[in-house]
Amino acid sequence: MTQLSPDTQEMLDSLQTAVAETLERKRRLGQYAVFWENGKPVFIGEDAPHNDDTASDDQQQAKTRH
């Protein structure tokens, strides 16, 4: 990894702290969070909506063919 300038590192640290604090607040409030994983949204948390689109693309295509 390349060395970041001190200003850039400070900005990155601030953003990482802000995200961590926000996710912790959402967890304490019982709210779900949305992450991107493998190009798709992933819902994390007890109240997260259930997404029926979790099947792979091949499975979805097979369903539409029948």
What pLDDT, on a 0 to 100 scale, did the predictor assign at position 1?
66
What pLDDT, on a 0 to 100 scale, did the predictor assign at position 50?
83
Q: What is the residue-level pLDDT of the chain in tens, covering all 66 positions?
A: 689 999 999 999 999 999 999 999 999 999 999 999 999 999 998 889 986 554 445 444 444 444
CA distances from 42 to 8, 9, 26, 33 (A): 29, 28, 15, 8
What pLDDT, on a 0 to 100 scale, did the predictor assign at position 23?
94
Alpha-carbon distance 15 to 9, whole Å?
Answer: 10
What pLDDT, on a 0 to 100 scale, did the predictor assign at position 17?
98
